[in-house]
Amino acid sequence: MKKPSKRYATGSLVVMGIVIGVLGWGGFNWGLEMTNTEEFCISCHEMESTVYQELKETIHYTNPSGVRATCPDCHVPRPWIHKIIRKIQASSELYHHFMGTLDTPEKFEAHRRELAQHVWQVMKETDSRECRNCHSTDSMNLMAQSQRARTRHEQATENGETCIDCHKGIAHKDVYKEIQKEKEQEAEPDFGLDL
Amino acid sequence: MKKINRMNLAQRACPLLGALLLSSVSFSASAVEWDAVSGKTVELFSPGQAGWEWVLTESNHSASKSVKKGTNCKECHNGEQPKMGKLIGSGEKIEPDPVSGNPGHIPVEVKFAYDNERLYVQLKWQETSQSSKQDPDYQAKVALMMSDGTVKATKIAGCWSACHMDSNGMPNAESGQDLGKYLFASRSKITRSGGGENLKPASDIAALLEAGNFLELWRAKLNPDKPAVAVDGYVLDAIHENATPAISAQSSYAEGQWTVELSRNLKQAGEGRLDFVTGNIYQLGLSVHDSHTDERHHHVSFGYTFALDSGRADFIAKKI
């Protein structure tokens, strides 16, 4: 068998490989986690001056139980492979940051509906995976909920609905109603005459 | 009724004596010993300008899809009536012209009883101190709308099934047009603004009436010093009032508390009249126009149910 190197012993190469591998892998994950914090997200003023300020007014930011949801809790998947995919997708956000696509409140508002609908679509496709980082229907005590919440959660479970079907716009400015209103104005209602 | 007439005479002869007598019982003898009948308190609340189309529109009412599938309003909103009524009655939501002093909700004690001949309903509530003169003729009015289960919308939403965005006093009412309550089934097309102009042909309306697709309507118009005025009829394409009511109504008013009894024969010939029989579940919606209010400025209940003697209903009429 041919030696991989005349200068270094095979054992040394293996050790060096392991060290480099550990440092490389660790560094990669360290970098990944560094970009997976609220501080990193709001270091861009596009996020800090808009959606972050809106989040601060909601129950996901401050609540009786003292549990706070930060940006990545809701917007970055926890399973590793999905996290990597999301990070690769986020490279387009970097591109738009440097292009100044959303660099004024006016520009952000002009794109808000598109951005919101994209997030809702992803959450629908993943069965609200990031909501379920903290919430699960199994651990809900329905009897401790209001009658309205209890009824709606029971129906949602029966009908196979997912969190985002009802809970749109709960952590940021809600644009769902105005989008829905425009759709309603464009289309005839589907009221059954038997109602 | 004779007792009420005597009181009127007394009042004319001596206002002070009349006033004293008015604070006493003004019922003619009831066939029902109401103290032996248990009742339930129903919270009536201000509906504002939320008609049936509003309820079914998602941008107004996030649970509209659930409603279309048949969820009764109470399943989500029972217990919220005072809070909802306060928001609406104060003009904070869906009421552009709030009545001063409107508490937003009125708790009404409701009792049902029946004997071999008649169905009796008693309503009892404490008057509010709203400053309204919308209806100068009557200090209060009560109404019941009932179905035998044929009208699907009434199972879901009680009175809202008959209240529309183009009805009198509602946002899409056309000026000069007198459009009251009606059911979707009587229209060929409904938009988010209602369907008032899209009336089905008379033959279709007659068929709907024959099939039981109507709401029987009982009303009593009240003043403390006068006999209750009974009005009955039905709602389908419009409100149809009978020239001669089959219902009886009597009322008493004491220290601000109204007590009203309405009754009619269990079976009564005539269009738009239900047969009240054991074994069936009836849908019920209640409203009170208190303190001289009129039209939409009433307080309304969600949809309830009642049955004679036994059954899975909110109210069980006691056999006497």
- What ipTM, to 2 d.p.? 0.78
Which chain B positions have a beta carbon within 8 Å of A193's beta carbon?
A: 184-185, 187-188, 190
Of B79, B153, B191, nearest to A195 by CB-CB distance is B153
Which chain A positions have a beta carbon within 8 Å of B237's beta carbon?
A: none
Of A155, A184, A194, nearest to B185 by CB-CB distance is A194
Summarize the confidence of residues A144-161 as an average pLDDT. Answer: 93
The pairing of strands B299-300 and B282-289 is antiparallel
Cβ-based neighbour number of residue B100 at 10 Å: 10
- Give per-residue pLDDT as tens, A28-50: 888 888 889 999 999 999 999 99
Which chain A positions have a beta carbon within 8 Å of B161's beta carbon?
A: 195
| Closest chain A C-alpha to B51 CA, distance in angstroms | 13
A3: Cα within 13 Å, side-chain hemisphere: 9
**Which pLDDT belongs to residue A193?**
75
What tokens were used for A148?
């309205």
- In this prediction, the residues of chain B whose per-residue pLDDT falls under 50 are 1-25
Summarize the confidence of residues A79-103 as an average pLDDT. Answer: 92
| Cα distances (angstroms) measured from residue A65 to each of A61, A140, B83, B229 | 11, 15, 25, 57
Of A152, A189, A193, nearest to B191 by CB-CB distance is A189
Summarize the confidence of residues A137-163 as an average pLDDT. Answer: 92
Of B58, B79, B152, nearest to A147 by CB-CB distance is B79
- Do residue A152 and residue B79 have CB atoms under 8 angstroms apart? no
Distance CA A171, CA A164 (A): 12
Of A152, A192, A194, nearest to B63 by CB-CB distance is A152
**Which pLDDT belongs to residue B3?**
33
Interface of A with B (CB under 8 A): 146-148, 151-152, 155, 166, 177-178, 180-181, 184, 188-189, 191-195
pTM, two decimal places? 0.85
What tokens were used for A140?
């809900």
Q: How confident is the model at residue A188 (pLDDT cuts 50, 70, 90)?
A: confident
| Closest chain A C-alpha to B53 CA, distance in angstroms | 8
Are the beta carbons of B30 and B261 closer than 8 angstroms? yes
Are the beta carbons of B195 and B184 closer than 8 angstroms? yes
**Which pLDDT belongs to residue B227?**
97
Residue A19's identity, in one-letter code, is V
| Cα distances (angstroms) measured from residue B76 to each of A177, B67, B71, B81 | 20, 10, 8, 11
SS3 A70: coil
- Is the per-residue pLDDT at A7 higher than 90? no
| Substitution target from B52, B53, B59, B151 for chain A, most A beta carbons within 10 A | B59
| Closest chain A C-alpha to B310 CA, distance in angstroms | 26
Distance CA B173, CA B96 (A): 14
- Is the per-residue pLDDT at A1 higher than 70? no
| Closest chain B C-alpha to A115 CA, distance in angstroms | 20
| Substitution target from B43, B55, B62 for chain A, most A beta carbons within 10 A | B62
**Which pLDDT belongs to residue B28?**
65
Which chain A positions have a beta carbon within 8 Å of B156's beta carbon?
A: 195
Query: With the C-alpha atoms ordered B178, B183, B188, B192, is the resulting torsion angle positive or negative?
Result: positive
**Which pLDDT belongs to residue B34?**
97
- Do residue A184 and residue B58 have CB atoms under 8 angstroms apart? yes
**Which pLDDT belongs to residue A10?**
87
Which residue from B minimizes the CA distance to A182? B59
What tokens were used for B305?
């149910």
Are the beta carbons of B67 and B56 closer than 8 angstroms? yes
| Closest chain B C-alpha to A121 CA, distance in angstroms | 18
Which chain B positions have a beta carbon within 8 Å of A194's beta carbon?
A: 152-153, 184-185
Which chain B positions have a beta carbon within 8 Å of A167's beta carbon?
A: none
**Which pLDDT belongs to residue B231?**
98
Distance CA B74, CA B66 (A): 12
CB pairs under 8 A between A and B: 59
B251 sits in which H/E element: strand B248-254
Which residue from A minimizes the CA distance to B154? A195
Distance CA A53, CA A61 (A): 10
B119: which strand partners? B114, B264
> In chain A, pLDDT over 90 holds for what percent of residues?
77
Which chain A positions have a beta carbon within 8 Å of B184's beta carbon?
A: 191-195
Of B52, B57, B152, nearest to A184 by CB-CB distance is B57
